[in-house]
Structure 1
Amino acid sequence: MTDKDRIGFIGVGYMGHGMAKNIVEKGWPLTIMGHRNREPVEDLLKRGASEAKSPRELAEKSDIIFICVTGTPQVEDLMRRSDGILAGAHEGLVVVDTSTAVPDSTVALAAELEAKGGAMADAPLGGTPAQAETGELSAMVGAAPEVYARIEPVIRAWAARSVHLGPVGDGHKMKLLNNFVSLGYGALYAEALAVARKVGITPETFDSVLSGSRMDCGFYQTFMEYTLSGNREAHKFTLRNAHKDLRYLAAMANEAGIANHIGSAAKNAFAYAEGIGRGDDYVPFLADIIAEANGMKGKG
């Protein structure tokens, strides 16, 4: 027997598999919900996890649930459908949404869960699927202090860094700001590379100046790994998800009454990529898409 909280996990895809793997391997009882891709599910079952057939069943069997799905519509469905988490909620249940979601929706769901004796936190992620596997993600957490104290040890199973930002909803606000900056970089890099090629500056020359300079960062390195070496797996975040995140950022800025000129320009770069049918490609492929739009052949 263990005195550790029973953990539930929904969304064992690119990021979620590594997170769930670290939870079960570090000693927490883990129940996962079936995924359309059975490979990560079967792997986790072999490592000692059990499987629930619905969000309601998962909630009934868990003390803390982590959700790692695409965004707000998926989270709201998991919470509110007839066999959803709210239907199986019980006193003391904590639901931690690690997705990138609309903050106002998170606050509304938290109120619904509180009415059933539970609590909600938002802990969106920073990092890559490779970092999820090694337990080196970061988490930006919105939660009441007592809720954060309870969930932090589990977060530390998959995160090297966890920052408590404030009340529920603040994690998703900060995540949207974080992704605005990172995806803004992506749109800027893609356009700069297109201009460079048009004026006779190769990607290698471009990189020889920026890499290691004050302009360098981890996002730049994974973005450029595809451009320089053709590694399609270097930065596994889809253009569709990038567009979604910048739509959420725009909605937050609109609600706050802020003119979001640069955010709108970045969003439109990703909207264009999705609009021409490239939404399932990864963010670094945007460099090819912008090049192609300007009459140059890309790799993707």
Structure 2
Amino acid sequence: MGSKKAQVIGFIGLGVMGEPICRNLARKSGAQVLAFDLDAAPLQRLAADGVQGQGSASAVMAQSDTVFLSLPSGAIVAQLCRQQDGLLASARPGHIVVDLGTSSVDGTRQLAAEFAARQAKFADAPVARTRAAAQAGTLAVMVGADPELFGVIEPLIATFASDIALCGPVGCGQVLKILNNMILFETVVAISEAKAIGEKAGVDASVLFDTLANGSADSFALRNHGMKAVLPGEFPERAFSVHYARKDLQYALQLADDTGVDARSARVVDRWFAQAIEAGLGEKYHPVISRLIARGL
């Protein structure tokens, strides 16, 4: 009896989230994993898990059946796909490309159409939660794909995610991720405002947050961004920076404009992000805006 050809998975982009996601794929999928990143260090670390480093993104694409992208922005995804030796040029019938990053909805749907013209498939599957969740394999993933494609990629996504939602056709995963982040950013502003007001009114911030967590103001943002960053004033670099957060928020504001919704609360957040960047805080973890709010600037 003949044996089925083993699946080959490609992975491009081994940053803060990409490296642990790729590691979980290599450990749990049972497939051969090929990877590329401009930085050699994560490739060296992943070699211990059997990941085979490649010299270029196109080399990964040429040898893989399904390719995951974990890149900083939709603009970088588009450039990688469309450049002369890019992913579209290497796409063949049956190829699957999955974008794990946050990209614009229109840009995602346009790329999907371009891959479809080459009889390949493109899905958006932006990831949510923290780097620790990526390491533990407990990310939340919001997928935009047709049901047939979802059935193919879901088992692979399950190697690094504990909550996987099919949100609708291509682009709908991005809609959900963009709105998830918009709500998170707005909540962080509310938490920061509450801390500043509470402290100035004589309430200890730890008492404030602990008490809010027992009431209707409780939230993931309060317990994680509030208690772990805003309260202790810890805003490291190499986390989800103001620059990255503002990029995602810009996608939300564009979507609001496209749908005719007055997202004025989101525009308030955008002003805080802009002010943080002007103050030289753009590389800091995005709840750093609480510093500005506390100062009454």
109-118 vs 234-243, which moves further: 234-243
Q: Which residue of 2 aligns with 1:298?
A: none
Structure 2: which amino acid aligns with 1:236?
A
Is 2:201 the partner of 1:180? no
Q: Which residue of 1 aligns with 2:48?
A: 46
SS of 1:165's equivalent in the other structure is strand
Is 2:282 the partner of 1:279? yes
SS of 2:97's equivalent in the other structure is strand
After TM superposition, give the deviation of residue 269 of structure 1 in Å: 1.4
TM-score normalised by structure 1 residue count = 0.92
Q: Which residue of 2 aligns with 1:297?
A: none
Q: Which residue of 2 aligns with 1:160?
A: 162
Q: Which residue of 2 aligns with 1:291?
A: 294
Q: Which deviations, in whole Å up to 9, do the C-alpha atoms of 1:110-167 show, x marking residues without a partner? A: 1111111100000011111001011000111000111111101100000001111111
Q: Which residue of 1 aligns with 2:256?
A: 253
SS of 1:254's equivalent in the other structure is helix
Q: Which residue of 1 aligns with 2:118?
A: 116
SS of 1:157's equivalent in the other structure is coil
Relative to structure 1, is the Cα distance of residues 191 and 185 closer, same or farther in structure 2, using a 3 angstrom cutoff? same
Q: Residue 150 of structure 2 is aligned with which of 143, 148, 151?
A: 148
User: Following the alignment from structure 2 to structure 1, what is the Cα–Cα distance between the partners of residues 157 and 98?
Assistant: 10
- Contact persistence 1:100–1:172 (CA under 8 A): yes
Relative to structure 1, is the Cα distance of residues 186 and 102 closer, same or farther in structure 2, using a 3 angstrom cutoff? same
Is 2:63 the partner of 1:61? yes
Q: Which deviations, in whole Å up to 9, do the C-alpha atoms of 1:57-86 show, x marking residues without a partner? A: 111011111111111111111111112111
Is 2:206 the partner of 1:214? no
CA-atom RMSD, angstroms? Answer: 1.9
User: Following the alignment from structure 2 to structure 1, what is the Cα–Cα distance between the partners of residues 136 and 183?
Assistant: 25
Q: Which deviations, in whole Å up to 9, do the C-alpha atoms of 1:206-241 show, x marking residues without a partner? A: 113112322222222121212334554699311111
User: Following the alignment from structure 2 to structure 1, what is the Cα–Cα distance between the partners of residues 207 and 237?
Assistant: 20
After superposition, residues 84-99 of structure 1 pair within 5 angstroms as: 84-99=86-101
Relative to structure 1, is the Cα distance of residues 2 and 40 closer, same or farther in structure 2, using a 3 angstrom cutoff? farther
SS of 1:163's equivalent in the other structure is strand
Q: Which residue of 1 aligns with 2:242?
A: 239
Q: Which residue of 2 aligns with 1:169?
A: 171
User: Following the alignment from structure 2 to structure 1, what is the Cα–Cα distance between the partners of residues 16 and 125?
Assistant: 17
Is 2:8 the partner of 1:6? yes
User: Following the alignment from structure 2 to structure 1, what is the Cα–Cα distance between the partners of residues 238 and 222?
Assistant: 10
Q: Which residue of 1 aligns with 2:32?
A: 29
Q: Which deviations, in whole Å up to 9, do the C-alpha atoms of 1:30-55 show, x marking residues without a partner? A: 1111233x332211122111122222
Is 2:198 the partner of 1:196? yes
SS of 2:140's equivalent in the other structure is strand
- Contact persistence 2:192–2:230 (CA under 8 A): no
- Contact persistence 1:141–1:170 (CA under 8 A): yes
User: Following the alignment from structure 2 to structure 1, what is the Cα–Cα distance between the partners of residues 270 and 251?
Assistant: 10
SS of 1:216's equivalent in the other structure is coil
Unaligned 5+ segments in structure 1 are 295-300
Q: How many residues align?
A: 293
270-279 vs 86-95, which moves further: 270-279
177-186 vs 46-55, which moves further: 46-55
Structure 2: which amino acid aligns with 1:108?
Q
Q: Residue 263 of structure 1 is aligned with which of 263, 266, 280?
A: 266
235-244 vs 151-160, which moves further: 235-244
Relative to structure 1, is the Cα distance of residues 48 and 267 closer, same or farther in structure 2, using a 3 angstrom cutoff? same
- Contact persistence 1:30–1:50 (CA under 8 A): yes
User: Following the alignment from structure 1 to structure 2, what is the Cα–Cα distance between the partners of residues 268 and 284?
Assistant: 14
